[in-house]
Each structure stands twice: as C-alpha cells, then as structure tokens.
Structure 1
Amino acid sequence: MSEQQTMLTSSEIASIWTNYMNDSMSKCVLSYFLNHVEDEEIKSIIQFSYNLSATHIEKLTSIYNEEQMPMPSGFTENDVNINAPRMYTDTYMLTYINHMAKVGMLAFSGFTSLSARDDIRNYFIEGLNESSKLFERSSKVLLAKGLFVRAPYVAYPTKTDYVDSKKYLSGLNPFSNKRPLNMVEISYLYMNIQTNALGSKIAQSFAQASPVEKIQKWFLKGKEISQKHIQIFTKALLDNDIQPPVSPDVCITDSTISPFSDKLIMFHMALLVTAGIGNYATAAAASQRSDLILNYERLSLEIAQYAKDGSDILIENGWLEQPPGTKDKDLLTKKKNTVD
C-alpha cells in the first residue's frame, strides 16, 4: 500500500475537520467584509484572506471526497447576509484579519505536527506559510497606517544574569515587594491585553446584532470578562511602571441588524475563547512570578465556564456540530445483547 493510500489517522481527521469548520466560518465573515470595505489597500488584504479560505475549502472538500468521508456541515452562504448594514470600520476589519492570521499560524502549526501522511502534512505546511504571509501583509498595512500596536519599550539589558534566590519566583505575598517583570512576562501581558481588547469589541458587535436575548446576555458577559481581564493585566504593567499599549480605533457602528447567523457568531466566539485559554496556558507556563501564574490559572477557569455556558446554548438550539468520533463499544455490546 502506497503512502497516499494509507488511511487517515484520528489526528489527521480531527485536523481537517477543525480546519474545514474554521475556514467555512472565515469565508462567510470575509465575504461580508468585502461587500463593505472602503479602503482599497485594506480591501486587497481582505480579498487575499478570502481567497485563502475559499481555496482551503476546495482542497478539503477534495480530501473528504477521496477518502469517502461525510463532509462537515460547517457554515455556508445561508449563515451570512452580505447586504446587512455596515457594522465594522475598515480599521476593525484589518485588525481582525491580523489577529485571525495569528490564530491561523498557531492552528496550522499544530495541525502539521499531528499529521503523518505526506499530502495532509504538505497541505498544512502550505496553510502555515499562507497564514504567515497574511500576517506579514496585514502587519505592513497596519504599520503604514500607524495602527500596529507595538509591545512596550524598555531599556536594553546591560549584562547576562542568573537567578540567585527563590524569591525570584514569589509574588503572592501582599506585604512584600514583587520583583520587576521580566521581558517574557511583559510580552505575554501585552499579548493578552490586545487579544482581550479585540474580543471585547467582537462580543459587543455580536450582542447588539443578535435578536435573541439569551444570546445577547452571553455576549455581553463575554465583553465584561474581557474588560476585567484587561484591567488585571494592565495593572500588572502599571505596577511595574510600564505604560500599556493603546489599541487602535476598532470601533463598530450602531447597526443592530446581524450580518451573521446566531449559529456562526456563537461558534466564532467559542473559537476565540478556545484560543484565549491556550494563550493563558502558554503565558502561565512562560511566566515565573507566582502571582502572574495564579492569575492566568484562575482567569482560565472563568473563561472555561463561560465557554461551557456557550456550548449549552449551542446544544439547546441544535447548532453544535459534533467532531468525528469513535463508536461506543459498550453501547454496541448492549444493543447486540438486546437484539439477541
């Protein structure tokens, strides 16, 4: 049996399923952006991103057909109304794409590491390269327009040093002085401020657009959580005499007509929450001050519960598409015994 005839592994099936769900959602969002963007330079970035998602859908569809597996439902043109009134500014669209390019780079690198078959691995490597190009192109436009938010500047280190006391790892005692933040800790605080700032805007836009009160409340709660987390991370920087970076104007309009289905916006927020939990886990692992680690851990629990509440809404409405799974062997046995 040739390499190309080898069956897909569970990890490869999971990866292509996740990729299909994400790109089918992105294609809907980007089609709406394309219908409303005014700045030609930003439009070219959106078009490039849209073309990537559309190409991915075509390639994944081909893989599903070749493997004779059922296609995910994902999201279609029925989940977007491109003619809905304008809800997002051009600046928001560009900032959004830049952020989602980062999410894409992380996702494709993970998919690549989980893939063994040559054609699947090469597909994901190509996707990683494309996400990198999208991040590069969108970053250049953000920089050119003065919208790229840089991490805080600090004085250059003057020497190489080593930790000489276990106090370096402390930080929970409110009656003792905390050591200054190191560069690694600053970078993750900055990153999580930025992601929460964008998440807060996304949650606000989805809340004001959805016609369902329960869904509105869920998004508003997400906005409140994001704002609270921004304050916690900002305080950590300010306490270290570091001015947090100011986000660009990523305003939304006052439109209350949703461009997207409730199923899509719920899935979208769940995707961002999942990425956020991953960011916090990475930040906790990289940070060495115990108060920072504790903050990341307790805030992760908060957004995990928020995600659970969102999943409950998806299930109640029949919107939560189930990932490919295995058969319950115990249940099969019970059914067989019942038949016998």
Structure 2
Amino acid sequence: MDKQDTHLTSAEIANLWTSYMNNSMSIVMLSFMLQHIQDKEIKEAVQKSYDIAQHYQEETRSFFEAEACVMPDGFSEGDVHMDAPWLFSDIFCLTYVHHMSKVGMINYSGFLGMSRREDIRSFYTRLLSDTSSLYNQTTETAVSKGIHATYPYLEIPKEQEYIEGKQYLSGLHPLRNKRALNAVETAYLYMNILTNTVGEKLAIAFAQTSTSKEIQDYMIRGKDIATKHIKIFASTLQENDIVAARLPDLGVSSSTTRAFSDKLMMFHMSVLTSAGTGNYALAAASSLRTDLALNYERLSLEVARYAKSGVEIMIKHNWMEQPPKTADRDKLSRKKV
C-alpha cells in the first residue's frame, strides 16, 4: 500500500474525534451512576457499558498517538462530583444505557461505512458488535424486570395490499378524515416518544443540579420542548385508537447538589438534540401521511433553534471544542506575501 494510502482520511479523523468526545462523556456519566445503582442485573449492564467505553477510548487514543494527531480534551474526573447524592433511579440508568446504545449503533454503523483503512474498519466493526451486544443485554434485562417499553401492537396482516390512490398521502385537508396510521408511522411516533422521555428526564436532572441560572433556563426549555413533542406524538396515536404502551418510571431524585460540570451537561444535550434531529428526519422520510411529515419538519426546526442556542452558550463560555478542520488555503497564501 502506498504511504499516502495509510493516512487517515477526513472522515476517519472526524469519526475518531467524535468517538473520543462521546466516550469521554459516557465514562463520566456512567462512573457516577455505577456508585449508586443497587440492582445487581442493572449494575452489570451499566458496568458493561462503562467497560466498552473505557476499552475503546484507549484504542481511540492510540490512533491519535500513532498519527501524532492532537486529541480533544473531552471530559474527565474534573467534570463529575462523585460525592454528590444519587440522582438517577436504577430504572433510569438501565433505560439511559439502552437508549445510548441505540444512538451508538446508528453512529458506529455510519462511521464504519465512512472508513477506508482496515484497522479503522476493524475498530468500528468490533465497537458496533459490542454495542449491539450491550443493546441486547439491556433489552433482556428490562424485559425480565417488566420495565421494557413495548411498541404498540397492531393486527397481523393476512393479505397483501397496494396503495390505490394519492389520497393515501393526504392528511392536511380539514374536511377529510385522515387515513389510519400504518405500522411504519406508528413505530416512529412511539420511538420518538421514548427518546424524548429520556431527554426530558435528563434535562430535569441537569436543571435542578446546575448552579447557573443560564444553564437551568436552557435545560428547562429543553424539558418543555420534549414534553410538548411527547404530547403531540401521543395524541396522534390516540387519534387512531392506539394507546402508547406504559413507559418505565424514569425516576430522578430531588437532589439539587451539583453532580456534573455545566460543560458536560451542555455537551450531552447537544448529543441528544443531534440524535433527535436524525430521528425526526428519518421518521419524516418514512411517513407517507403529509401531516406527519410536516409535523416532523416543524418540530425539527424547533429542535434546531434550541440546539443553536446551546452552541451559542458553549461558545460564550469556551466549552465547545473545535472539530478538526481543513486548511485555509487563502490564509496560507497570504502568509507568503
């Protein structure tokens, strides 16, 4: 292989940088959770998540060192107060790891598809496999404890059907009844209820433990957005006589003691909003009823505005690390003049 072919591509650098940032955040969050979890099976699942993040963080670091590439600061022990009282219930911790493993599977499959070097592909193949195993473990644990959020059931179809007219796509006409939701649309509505529920509870925990009014206000705004979106998706299901299955009780304690740095909390919300925007885009593209697609687009804009406000806060406080960038050719040229 030509020497130039061994260099990391822009995609590989970007993906390793993102992996390092996300894993460093996960290590801090999970280390705090682990010291308070009482349930043995739940603790095993959270410990597995922590071990995966630690192991692959070391591998990510080795890639940066081998390429003499500067590593991001990420997050460390200075971003968590381990002596703070418990903040999350055991059920929340399990649901959190379950949710983040789904986010990880989506990210890592994308990173794998963008990688060329064999060692990078091997890295993301193993990471995707371990994250999938974690997802299965958290699912099995939740099912065994009767706390798994089950998607709505639909009648099993007995015969093949084809769409017979453009009215199948309608949904905006005020004088026409909307057609019933199909299975795909139902699944995405419920999925977005689940993801917003995790974000809602996390925003509550971050709001009540931050000492900054600016951060408190931002987190409360995020909680309100998540609550609003949950109601919209749930009401759409109810209009079709579909009752969203019972969600697990994602308890957050009443502690107001600072547990995490504001920098970490703001970064975590940016990760969640990014994942949420991706979920909405996929749901919009998969929903054939016009009103559903437009709803997702409208709500995505609200999330985008919220995310932009978060970025502005992070930049203001010098909390936002700049991703690797391409060379400014004009600036390099002017240096010679």
Q: Kindly report the root-mean-square deviation, in angstroms, between the aligned alpha carbons of the 2 structures.
A: 1.2
Q: 1:331 — aligned with what?
A: 331
* Sequence identity percentage: 49
After TM superposition, give the deviation of residue 83 of structure 1 in Å: 1.7
Q: How does 1:210-289 map to 2 (within 5 A)?
A: 210-289=210-289
Give how far 1:158 is off: 2.0
2:65 paired with 1:65: yes
- State the partner residue of 2:8: 8
Distance (Å, rounded) in 1 between the aligned partners of 2:31 and 2:326: 35
Letter in 1 for 2:325: G
> Partners in 2 of 1:327 and 1:24 — Cα distance?
27
In the alignment, which residue of structure 2 is the partner of 1:206? 206
- Do the aligned partners of residues 333 and 268 (structure 1) sit closer, same or farther apart at CA in structure 2, a change above 3 Å counting? same
Cα deviations by residue, 1:58-90 (Å, 9 ceiling, x for unpaired): 101111111110111111111111221100111
| d(CA) in 2 for partners of 1:103, 1:168 | 32
Residue number in structure 2 paired with 1:191: 191
Deviation at 1:213, TM superposition (A): 0.3
TM-score (norm 2): 0.98
Q: Does 1:79 pair with 2:79?
A: yes
Give the superposition deviation at 1:34.
Answer: 1.0
Q: SS at the partner of 2:248?
A: coil
CA distance in 1, matches of 2:321, 2:219: 20
Query: Equivalent residue for 1:320?
Result: 320
- For 1:86 and 1:231, how far apart are their aligned partners in 2? 29
CA-CA distance at 1:43 after TM superposition: 0.9
How far 1:245 sits from its partner (Å)? Answer: 1.9
Verify: 1:30 aligned to 2:24, yes or no: no
Distance 1:77 1:4, change over 3 A: farther
Q: Residue in 2 aligned with 1:162?
A: 162
Gap runs ≥5 in structure 1: none
Q: Which residue does the alignment assign to 1:43?
A: 43
- Cα offsets for 1:160-193 (capped at 9, x unmatched): 0001110000101121100100000000001000
- Structure 1 residue 5, shift from structure 2 partner: 6.7
Q: 1:90 to 1:3 in 2, by over 3 A?
A: farther
1:135 aligns with 2:130: no
Which whole-Å deviations, capped at 9, do the CAs of 1:233-269 have from their partners, x for residues lacking one? 1111011111012211111000011211100010001
Query: What is the rounded CA distance, in whole Å, between the counterparts of 1:2 and 1:103 in structure 2?
Result: 35
Distance in structure 1 (CA, Å) of the matches to 2:228 and 2:31: 32
Structure 2 unpaired stretches of 5+: none
The Cα offsets for residues 204-253 of structure 1, whole Å up to 9 and x where unpaired, read as: 00000110001100000000000110111111101111101221111100
Residue 181 (structure 1) aligned with residue 181 (structure 2): yes
Query: 2-side partners of 1:223 and 1:246: how far apart?
Result: 20
Q: How far apart in 2 are the matches of 1:130 and 1:80?
A: 26
User: Contact conserved, 1:3 with 1:118, CA < 8 A, in 2?
Assistant: no
| Residues 4, 260 of structure 1: alpha-carbon distance in 2 compared, 3 angstrom cutoff | farther
Quote the offset at 1:334 in angstroms: 3.2
1:107 equivalent in structure 2: 107
1:304 aligned onto 2:333 = no
Task: Give the alignment's TM-score, normalised by structure 1.
Answer: 0.97
Distance in 1 separating the partners of 2:7 and 2:318:
31
Structure 1 counterpart of 2:200, one-letter code: S
Partners of 1:190 and 1:161 in 2: CA distance: 24
Q: Which amino acid aligns with 1:63?
A: F
Give, as a single letter, the amino acid of the residue that structure 1 aligns with 2:36: H
Mark the CA change 1:210 to 1:264 in structure 2 (over 3 Å): closer, same or farther.
same
Query: Aligned letter for 2:93?
Result: M
Q: Which amino acid aligns with 2:6?
A: T
Shift of 1:91: 0.6
Is 1:290 matched with 2:284? Answer: no
* Aligned-partner SS, 1:64: helix
Structure 1 stretches of at least 4 aligned residues deviating more than 6 Å after TM superposition = none
3-state SS of 2:149 partner: coil
Deviation at 1:48, TM superposition (A): 0.7
- CA–CA distance in 1 between the matches of 2:82 and 2:198? 22
Secondary structure of the corresponding residue to residue 206 of structure 2: helix
Aligned counterparts of 1:17 and 1:4: Cα–Cα separation in 2? 21
**CA positional deviation for 1:157:** 1.1
Distance apart, 1:46 and its partner CA: 1.1
Q: In the aligned structure 2, how far is the partner of 1:57 from the partner of 1:261?
A: 20
Helix, strand or coil for the counterpart of 1:194?
Answer: helix
**Alpha-carbon distance in structure 1 between the residues aligned to 2:95 and 2:189:** 19
